[in-house]
């Protein structure tokens, strides 16, 4: 029984990726060739995709470049840069009179976490205990009171605030407010 031939539409420019890694490491073709015990001519041909290395040779070259076969062939996923309302997640807290909108999904894995906070009339955020990190806010509309320890600071439309979160803290508004609030590291 004859098996049908299957063509695989996959072609990877191995040479170009090796060249990029080599340049990132600040190595010349000659330096890479010396480290991998190959010739400069072979590295040159390899980088121009004029020859293909054996698996063992590729492993040696990649080891000299500080990576592995798995990392070398791993496809890089496209990182989302722009987010729309469809990406947002919202939580309303009737008890405290606020609505938190996470405007960057899964921001907990990042080094900072931006949210859009809406405070109703006489609304506030949940009182937060001291923790590591910093917090920043930009008041989009309304007036906000920033409670840090026993002190209260006021910010109005167009003003910003910034503090280290090493004391008990929360935000409140008598008339209502809308603001961009960023914590680092994430804590919402």
Q: Is the pLDDT of residue 3 over 50?
A: no
Segment 54-82 mean pLDDT: 86
Residues 52 and 111 placed together within one structural domain of the fold = no
pLDDT tens sequence across 130-165: 999 999 999 999 999 999 999 999 999 999 999 999
Residue 133 within any structural domain of the chain: yes
Same-domain pairing of 180 and 131: yes
Range of the domain at 169: 85-184
In a domain, 9, yes or no: no
Q: pLDDT tens digit string along 28-61?
A: 999 999 999 999 999 999 999 898 899 999 999 9
pTM of the model: 0.60
Same structural domain, 39 and 59: yes
Q: Is the same domain home to 34 and 89?
A: no
Domain annotation covers residue 142: yes
Shared-domain flag, residues 64 and 89? no
Q: What does the DSSP assignment read for 111-180? A: S-EEEEEEE-TTEEPPPB---SSEEEEEEEEEEEEEEETTEEEEEETT-EEEEE--S-EEEEESS-EEEE
Domain count, the chain: 2
């Amino acid at each position: 029984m004859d098996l049908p031939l299957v063509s695989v539409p996959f072609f990877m420019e191995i040479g170009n990726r090796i060249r990029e890694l080599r340049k990132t490491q600040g190595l010349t073709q000659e330096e890479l060739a010396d480290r991998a015990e190959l010739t400069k001519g072979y590295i040159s041909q390899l980088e121009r995709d004029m020859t293909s290395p054996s698996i063992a040779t590729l492993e040696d070259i990649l080891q000299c470049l500080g990576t592995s076969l798995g990392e070398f062939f791993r496809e890089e996923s496209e990182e989302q840069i722009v987010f729309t309302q469809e990406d947002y997640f919202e939580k309303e807290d009737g008890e405290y009179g606020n609505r938190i909108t996470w405007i960057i999904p899964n921001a907990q894995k990042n080094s900072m976490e931006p949210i859009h906070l809406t405070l109703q009339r006489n609304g506030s955020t949940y009182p937060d205990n001291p923790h590591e990190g910093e917090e920043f806010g930009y008041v989009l509309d309304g007036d906000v009171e920033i409670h840090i320890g026993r002190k209260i600071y006021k910010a109005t439309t167009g003003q910003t605030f910034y503090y280290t979160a090493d004391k008990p803290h929360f935000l409140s508004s008598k008339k209502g407010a809308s603001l961009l609030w960023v914590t680092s590291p994430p804590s919402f």
